[in-house]
Structure 1
Amino acid sequence: MRGDELVLLTIAGAWHGRLRLARDITVAAARAALQLAAVGALLLLVFRHTGLAGAIGRLALTVLIADRVIARRTPALPRAPLTATVGITLGTAATMGTLLALGVIATRARVVIPVGGMIVSGFISLPGAMTGLILAGVDPSPRSDTRWS
């Protein structure tokens, strides 16, 4: 079953169940389709015309968006936007630089963009994981005597 068929089935189910969600589902599906088309067009432009430089630019844009997400999720962190920007930029640059320098991944946009996106998404989830550990009473610092097992 294709995605559009699943959306139509969901809309029909919401309408049949009188959940009053059919319109919201339709609007959300239309917005998602437009966003997907826009991202697809951007990636096509990068893949066809800009090469590795465009991929690095796209990855930089991803990092800028991600640091805002991290800063919003960790408001108690002193200077959250600056801390997030520096941390995610250095972490992503070091990881991608190592992978590219050692030849682990190809220096093509079709490889750099998805691998870089996965690295950035890992950095986005890290503050939440650390906060969860701290709230659970686990000290995540390397000098901690608390065991993680």
Structure 2
Amino acid sequence: MNEYLYYFPIYNDEDKNRIKKEVEENFKNKGSKSSYKKLKLFLININKGGRKYILKLIDEEKFKTHKNKKIAHIDDYNNFSLYELRIPPQSRTGVFRVYLTFYPEKFYLNNNVIILEAEFKTEKKAKKIESAYNNLKSLVDDASK
């Protein structure tokens, strides 16, 4: 079975492991156990279904307000989108936020998804969204070379 979920940067194991560790280990101790289980289930489903799974989810949620969406479009860079997975969509005790994009490929669409950054958000303002956007820019610019 194909796997479609990757961590940024694709070729730098040290930073990739930082984001992977944040999602798979550090998040265990934050938020509710049920929210963490939902997050893990979403990541498993993304790994199995890739880009197609996310696009299906976006289509299913198109009539929801932004604050009630589990996955939301945040920004664009050179025709590549930055998405935010939110589990739960909102909560006073905190929200798991995983920033992701589709793998940039000039000549064909593939099904791969890349996690650019992750955080457990407890305050109004997201702390790692700028880092996620910078990672998106870096990924797209490197793919364009």
TM over 0.5: no
Q: Normalising by structure 2, what TM-score?
A: 0.29
Higher relative contact order (CA 8 A, sep 6+): 2
Rg: which structure is higher? 1
TM-score, reference length from structure 1: 0.29
More strand by percentage: 2
Higher helix content, 1 or 2: 1
